[in-house]
Homo-oligomer: A and B are copies of this chain.
Amino acid sequence: MESTAGDLAYDVFSRACPSRGTLEHVTGRWGSLTLGALHEGGCRFNELRRRVDGVSERMLSQTLHALERDGLVHREAQPTNPPRVDYELTPLGREVADRLLALIRFVEGRMDDVLAARARYDTAAGARGGR
């Protein structure tokens, strides 16, 4: 049996597979934080910007388009004035976000270990390199 690809039709480890692109939308710098923020509940554009600290208008807009195109986010625009647009996860997006959040929460919860490992690594490297 092939342990790498298994019997999946889409193998992210293969350069040409479209799943790699989607994975990058999901796990990318802003994609992951956007999905994480929407996991708490749908919200409007500027509220989303505030939740995802540091994202620019341009990047948030771009990220949302990619996620909407992949069927992970639903966009609900109301033709009022001033305009109001709400974003929320689709059922598929929610399932993705669940798994993503599990990862994010875990990493956050183990940051002390990570920071300790870094300190050890830097000390060892400093001792070797000496500069």
* Interface residues of A, Cβ cutoff 8 Å to B: 3-4, 8-15, 18-19, 22-24, 26-29, 32-33, 36-37, 40, 51-54, 68-72, 92, 95-96, 99-100, 102-118, 120-122
Contact = CB atoms under 8 A, between A and B. Distances in A.
B107 A69 contact: no
A19 B54 contact: no
Contacts of A14: 53
Copies in the complex: 2
Contacts of A113: 71, 92
A74 B40 CA distance: 35
Contacts of A13: 33, 36-37, 51-53
B109 A103 contact: no
Nearest to A23: B107
A92 B110 contact: yes
B92 A19 contact: no
Contacts of A108: 8-12, 19
Point out which of A15, A105, A114 has the most chain B C-beta atoms below 10 A from its C-beta. A114
